[in-house]
Each structure stands twice: as structure tokens, then as C-alpha cells.
Chain A
């Protein structure tokens, strides 16, 4: 556990305040950790993923004796020390060659983890194509029905989205969309969510080998004129290209997950707008005032009471019974008014 620091000057106080929990959170900072042995492949994979993740990335260049699935206390410590909430641990062992562990933290505790094996890796430098600018937000593309049905792939999608794209932004410059990260899954042979495996770590090796491979591809985007407002998109490979196979995973603790999924209380303006429920004829303006629109039936101008004159009065012989009655009423009213005037 880290000691609690009392800031001694304004700069330190600002730095500590920046680490406080926020309602709308910043992008997740990722730490890239090397295990006791990382082969050339894992080193390169981590270097290139870090290039994609920059500037929210911290590299631990020294080796660390760490096994995230057995003991995650080091991860907890590093997360708190560096104010980071994602980890990519690279480790290559005889049993699990070229392994990567992607871990996600909540409140400096491990929320969930997923382990991959790198089957194939094509570096960025092998494509002589333009690269994206560091720090630009990628677009993400997921292609498989498993991302909606299978718990392992749902977790994978959530982890990768959190890794690359978790920051909530209110606007984006359309010219700055430069690259995409595409995640696809090999065809699944009779694997679906209903018969799917539980997310726990009690999975046997045959079950793991049944999980189809994951292809991570990175492309740059070219926008071509299409004659309409929306441009036509062309992709060119950028790299890195990764073929991953899923290995162990650790699902989130339900209590911790529930705490992590808590949303901030809605603002008054949003609540009054109806929170997605359509409320007709009501809107809330910038000042928080509720404004309504009222619709009235069309006015019948024939019955409009205009100025009363003697000449316009319906005579006793003219018109039907109804009009005479009306006339009587009017007469009474006028009498009353006269009386009031006189009194």
C-alpha cells in the first residue's frame, strides 16, 4: 500500500487532484510490462502496440518476475503508483510461448484479464505505407457474431475497446480519422453462446483450442470523393498484424463489476428531457427551464364576437330560433352591463 501524500505545494496538489476519480474519465493509461522472459516476437508486438497506444502508455523496460493469474499484487501496486488502469504483460514460457496478458483494473484492483498467444506477427515496418499520427483516435471494427454471444469474445471486445478507445469525447475532427483497428474472428465450428464455456479459469486445454483465432489488423483510411457528402473509404494496411489465440482468462468478480459499471447521476436537464424516453411537446432549454408547446384546435372565426352594433343585431323576425335565443342572451348581458354602468 502506498503512503498517502499530503501535498506541500500547489503543483503537487494539482497533480494529486488530477488522479482523483472523475465523473467523465480520461483515456486509460496502459503499462507495458515484460515478464521474466520475452522472446523477440513478444518484444516487437509490445513495442508496436505501444506505438498505437501512445501517449497513454508507460513502458516498463526491465524484466519482472510476474504471473498475473497467480498473484496480481504487483499489478495492483503499479496501477496505484502510476495511475494506470490497463496492463499488457508479455511473457514467453515453454508451456505458453509468446504470451500476452491484457489486464484491466478498477480502483487499482484487477477487474478482469485475458491471455493471448501470438501465432503470427507482421510488423509495421514490413508495410511501406503511410502510418497514422501518434495520439489520434482509432476507429474500431469488430467482425464476428461471437462478439455478441460468446462470453470470452464479449470480454475480448470490451477489453480491446477499453484499451484503445475508452475515452468519452464530445466531438471529433473528421479529418483526423486516420486509422482503424479491425478485430475479426475465424469461423467458429459449432461454437455459440448457448453451449459456450463459462468464463472461469476451469477450462481444459481442448476447450481452449476449440476457440477460434482472433485476427487483429490495422489499416489506414483514405477518403475518396464519392459525389455525395459521405466520402468513399479505401483501406491500406498499416501494421501491426496479429493472429492471436485465446488462452486463460479471468472473469470479473460480480461485486467489483457492479461497482465498476455504476454510472453518474444524470443531470437535471437530461432527466427533464426524459432520458431517451420521448416526451412530446416538451423541451428543456439551456437555462434548465422546461418549455412546452401547446396545440389548440382551429378557431372557428364565425363564432368570433366582434364589436356589437345596433345595425348588426339580428332582428326579432329574422333568423331561426337559435339565433333569437342567442340574441336574447346578448340582450340580457347588455342590460346587465348597462345596469352596472348606471349603478
Chain B
């Protein structure tokens, strides 16, 4: 039997789904992304850009679809779902990792004793009513004793014994105790975190002070229980650096100096430089009469002024 006709017609009907590239395509099925690292074919790029872009995109997507269809599937009401593997591309997170909740006193006790956490359902079965009722809250099971119309009273009860009040008080005290314990847990965790913060700050200050010496703390006196700092190296600038960077660093120093001068001027607006206090010099030269008088004496003539001076 000759099947070549059938095969040929089949081939004509269905085009190829294979993609062949020099560098194999990098498919990240977890993010539905495909990366084609092959260099661009410049001829077809310059002749027809849109067609070229579409054909490369088609090839890439064909490879992605092929790997998506080879994934295991699970049924769902909307058709089969492909189960995706975790993505291989690493993208930065949007927010920092969630911090673990500090354990309560009970949780610490339970973990030490190996007590498993049991989830209590909110509804429990009421035998009398033959229905599910709330464990607590509206018409809760915990208010049963307060709501029932008849209560057994112990024989030695006082005259004014009120069973409803007793049950209610017991319930209220349980609620109060729970709240008190919750607040204690909160207070404990905040105190702990404060202490941790303070310890961290002390450690940081200690590290800074150690680094501040020329030997980077090598010859400092060690305290008891002081840990060795890790990852600390003296950093030397290279002896030869590009002229651009050298210029930059010099200019940075200069501008910083400039800034110092400006700041000094702002702080002492009418002082001169550090060596000569101009204000004081004028006062002594004019014998306390001020700069204007001194100026006037200068313009009147040198001889007179000198003769009038104190010998």
C-alpha cells in the first residue's frame, strides 16, 4: 500500500511545529517567558522589519507552547489546567519577607511539651436543639447556663444565690483572663524587641569605634566576651587612578574646604581671619573711639597724629 500521498497531504495540511535555532531557546515556563539569545539576522531585519519580528516571535512562542503542552495537567471546570513549575528567572521581591510572628507563652509551652495545635470549630452540635450552634458569640453554647429556664441549685446554697449571675461571672472572668494574657504576650514581645534593638545598636557602636583606629582595632584592649569582627578589611586606594577620578576627588576636597570657609563666615560675620581680630585691633588703635574717628585722624595728617600720641 502506498502511503506517500497520504503523508504528503498530511504534511501540506499541518505545518511544522518544530523550531530549530543555533542557540537553543531559554524557556521559563513558570513566568510564561521565552528568551531567544540568537543574534539578529541583519538582512531580513533591514528588508522587512515587522515580518522579521513577527516570525522570530512566532518561533519563540511555538517553543514556549510546546513546553507548556508537555506539562502535566489537572482537570478543572474550565478545561484542563497545566501545572506550572516554579519560575527559574529571579525577580526582586515587592516587599521584604514576612517576619515570623513571635510565639505566645502558650505556644512556647506547647512546643516544649510537644502539644499539637488543634483548631476548634466555631460551630458545635447541640443535642437538644438537634442543630449546629455557635460555640461562642450570638446564642453561643457558652451562654447555655445563663439562658436556661431552670437550674439545679446546691443544697447548701445561700438565700440570695443567683445561678445565672454565677455562670455569667465565670464566663466574664474567662474572657478577662484571656485578654490579660494577650496583653502580657504583647508586652513581652515589645520588651524583647526593644532589648534586641538596644543590643544591636550597642554592637554597631562598638564595631564603629573599633574601626575608627588606624589599626582597625587590632591593638585595642579586648573586652570580656567580645566577638571578633568579621569581614573587615583595610581599604587602600590604588596608587594609580585615572586622571578624571583623581581630579574629582581633589575637587571634592576643595569644595568641602570651601564649604568650611563659608560656614565659618556665616558663624562669625564680622570677624576677620583667625590671626588678627580686626574689631579688637581697631579699638586699640583708636583708643576705644572707633573706626570713624581713626579714619578722621588718618586724613588730618600724619605728623599731628603722631605728635599727639602718648610717649
Contact = CB atoms under 8 A, between A and B. Distances in A.
B90 interface: yes
B31 to A, nearest CB: 5
B205 interface: no
Contacts of B54: 217, 219, 235, 237
A23 interface: yes
- In which size bucket is the chain A interface? 35 or more
Contact of B66 (A171, A219, A221, A230): A230
A173 B80 CA distance: 6
A1 interface: no
A182 B95 contact: no
A121 interface: no
A292 interface: no
Contacts of A187: 39-40, 42, 45
Contacts of A184: 40, 53, 56-57
A105 B94 contact: yes
A139 interface: yes
Interface string A231-275: 111110100000000000000100001011110100000000000
Interface in B37-96: 37-40, 42, 45, 49-50, 53-54, 56-58, 60-62, 64-66, 68-70, 73-74, 76, 78-84, 86-87, 89-96
Interface stretch (B10-18, B161-169, B216-224, B264-272): B10-18
Contact of A233 (B39, B62, B89, B93): B62
B82 A172 contact: yes
Interface in A181-210: 182, 184-187
Given A175-B79, A234-B58, A142 B93 contact: no
B161 to A, nearest CB: 39
Interface string A154-171: 000110011001101111
B31 A165 contact: yes
A38 B93 CA distance: 31
B92 A104 contact: yes
A67 B39 CA distance: 36
Contact of A170 (B13, B84, B90): B84
Given A226-B17, A230-B70, A111 B61 contact: no
B278 interface: no
A141 B57 contact: yes
B49 to A, nearest CB: 8
A225 interface: yes
Given A170-B83, A173-B79, A180-B61, 12 more contacts: A106-B94, A141-B34, A141-B61, A142-B36, A143-B38, A168-B31, A170-B84, A182-B56, A224-B15, A231-B17, A261-B90, A261-B93
